[in-house]
Amino acid sequence: MYKVKVFVTLRESILDPQGTAVKGSLHSLGFEAVEDVRIGKYLEVTIDKSVENIDLAVKEMCEKLLTNVVMEDYRYEVEEVVAP
Amino acid sequence: MYKVKVFVTLRESILDPQGTAVKGSLHSLGFEAVEDVRIGKYLEVTIDKSVENIDLAVKEMCEKLLTNVVMEDYRYEVEEVVAP
């Protein structure tokens, strides 16, 4: 079994209004030291061992469905889990 | 400057309909080996060096604003960045 962690972030050049709003709220709560907040997605995908090329499979999933490649970047970590 | 990465995930006991929908879509695209998808948030928070106790500050931010502690778990990584 593979446990894949996918991190999806907005590209640097894309404005992040949600992050800006959260930064404002953190300032209001007294965390004035916060300089920037960027918000992305974090996915944990569990995949059966039967997949031959896990890297290729994850890249395809990310580019076909999980990310918008025009606006977002992604990176991922694959962990092999031995079922108990 | 600190770069803090915060990972927010739904607690194990909480259903994740968004993840279930994504799993269904991945199956439709031919990725039948996907067994489970859980979707969370990923935040990159840049914080000024002036903060005395960065761990305490990040925990407070997470518990007061960034996560819903009833339904969500969080973990974070702090990286110290030397400004160029």
Question: What are the tens digits of pLDDT across the range A11-48?
Answer: 999 999 999 999 999 999 999 999 999 999 999 999 99
- Contact A41/B at CB under 8 A: yes
Q: What's residue A84's pLDDT?
A: 66
A64-82 per-residue burial string, b: 16 or more CB within 10 A, e: under 16: eebbeeeebebebeeeeee
Half-sphere exposure of A72 (CA within 13 A, CB side): 18
Residue A83 has pLDDT above 80, yes or no: no
Question: What are the tens digits of pLDDT across the range B15-63?
Answer: 999 999 999 999 999 999 999 999 999 999 999 999 999 999 999 999 9
Question: What are the tens digits of pLDDT across the range B2-23?
Answer: 999 999 999 999 999 999 999 9
Phi, psi of A30 (to 5 degrees): 105, 0
Please list, in sequence order, all residues whose beta carbon lies within 8 angstroms of the beta carbon of residue A22, skipping any fewer than 6 positions away. A37, A39, B43, B65, B66
Which sequence spans correspond to the domains of chain B? Answer: 2-80
- Contact A45/B at CB under 8 A: yes
- Provide, as residue numbers in chain B, all residues whose Cβ is less than 8 Å from the Cβ of A42: 7-9, 39-42
ipTM of the complex: 0.89
Question: What are the tens digits of pLDDT across the range A49-73?
Answer: 999 999 999 999 999 999 999 999 9
Residue B84 has pLDDT above 70, yes or no: no
Distance CA A37, CA B5 (A): 10
Q: What architecture is domain B2-80?
A: 2-Layer Sandwich (3.30)
